[in-house]
């Protein structure tokens, strides 16, 4: 068994060395995107705090700049990675590193949503807890809080559930079509998945506009909009991810053996789907049980 070659200073700085001949680990080229993305992520966080707490009139502007900057960073970073892949720089070692990175990223996203579910269950299960300062004032000892009118989970939320599950199924079929060398089927089912994703986002937007409660009027509204809102943001990112894959598919950049970018997009989309199933079950159905339903009187 031979040891992997050790990187020398020359190997690190020689830009003419083909990727396949470089040392046996991933040598990352200098990139501006990590620091640029960090700056825009900070702006987004600051903008969220300023907006939600009404601390400054510029809050929405800061939030918009941060969000647009994150999209800009994603586009630039994706472009560079795609160029590297098409230039033949992604050997087995690089692909393995990217796969591990994607797995860790999704794991971090799982913990991100755990925080919002934790906030929801801490508020709902302890709605009648007098030990928590101000809890009874916020909830009236009930969940949903006394006087809260909720969204009927068996109308638009249920339809959105079917839409997102169907989109996830279409992505899975598209993956099968690609592996079976049916490029037209791959592109067709991928397009269907994207259109269903847009339909889900439209349904969420309609639901938010017509919701009988707001972010600020109760702890129910705060936990609802934070959990479902961040999920909606992830759906938008997932739709963008799949759309990039569709353009790459039309450019002939995926093969049955080499389609790591699409595989990552599929993983991410299935993750978003699973999170929604938990949101629908816990927040829309269980979390609104026994409350007055919007429009029920009519």
Find out whether the peptide bond into 144 is cis, omega within 30 degrees of 0. Answer: yes
Q: What is the CATH number of the domain that holds 158?
A: 1.20.120.80
Q: Evaluate whether residue 2 is within a structural domain.
A: no
Domain of 49, CATH number, reads 1.10.287.70
Q: What is the pLDDT of residue 29?
A: 76
pLDDT, mean of each 10-residue run, the chain (298 residues): 37 45 66 94 93 85 94 89 79 84 95 93 74 60 78 92 97 94 94 97 94 82 91 94 94 87 95 96 85 53
Q: Does one domain contain both 172 and 231? A: yes
- Tell me, yes or no, whether 161 and 220 share the same domain: yes
Q: Which structural domain range is residue 43 located in? A: 30-89
Say how many domains are in the chain: 2
DSSP β-bridge partners for residue 292: 149
User: Which pLDDT belongs to residue 13?
Assistant: 35
The verdict on 96 and 85 lying in the same domain is: no
pTM: 0.82
- Does one domain contain both 123 and 269? yes
DSSP letters spanning 179-229: HTT-HHHHHHHHHHHHHHHHHHHHHHHHHHHT-SS-SSS-HHHHHHHHHHH
């Amino acid at each position: 068994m031979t040891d992997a070659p050790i990187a020398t200073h020359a190997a690190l700085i020689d830009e003419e060395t083909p990727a396949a001949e470089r040392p046996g680990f991933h040598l990352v080229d200098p990139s501006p995107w990590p620091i640029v993305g960090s700056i825009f992520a900070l702006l987004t966080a600051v903008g969220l705090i300023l907006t939600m707490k009404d601390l400054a009139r510029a809050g929405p502007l800061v939030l918009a700049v941060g969000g647009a900057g994150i999209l800009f960073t994603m586009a630039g970073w994706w472009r560079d990675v795609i160029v590297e892949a098409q230039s033949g720089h992604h050997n087995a070692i690089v692909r393995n590193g990217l796969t591990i990175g994607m797995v860790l990223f999704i794991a971090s996203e799982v913990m991100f949503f755990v925080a919002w579910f934790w906030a929801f269950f801490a508020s709902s299960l302890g709605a009648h807890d007098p030990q928590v300062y101000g809890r009874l004032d916020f909830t009236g000892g009930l969940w949903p809080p006394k006087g809260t009118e909720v969204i009927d989970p068996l109308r638009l939320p249920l339809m959105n559930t079917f839409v997102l599950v169907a989109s996830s199924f279409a992505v899975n079929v598209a993956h099968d079509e690609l592996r079976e060398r049916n490029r037209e089927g791959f592109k067709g089912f991928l397009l269907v998945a994207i259109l269903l994703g847009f339909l889900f986002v439209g349904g969420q937007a309609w639901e938010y506009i017509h919701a009988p409660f707001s972010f600020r009027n109760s702890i129910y509204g705060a936990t609802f909009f934070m959990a479902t809102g961040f999920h909606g943001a992830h759906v938008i990112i997932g739709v963008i991810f799949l759309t990039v894959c569709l353009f790459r598919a039309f450019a002939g950049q995926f093969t049955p053996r080499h389609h790591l970018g699409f595989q990552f997009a599929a993983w991410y989309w299935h993750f978003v789907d699973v999170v929604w199933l938990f949101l629908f079950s816990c927040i829309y159905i269980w979390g609104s049980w026994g409350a007055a339903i919007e429009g029920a009187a009519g």
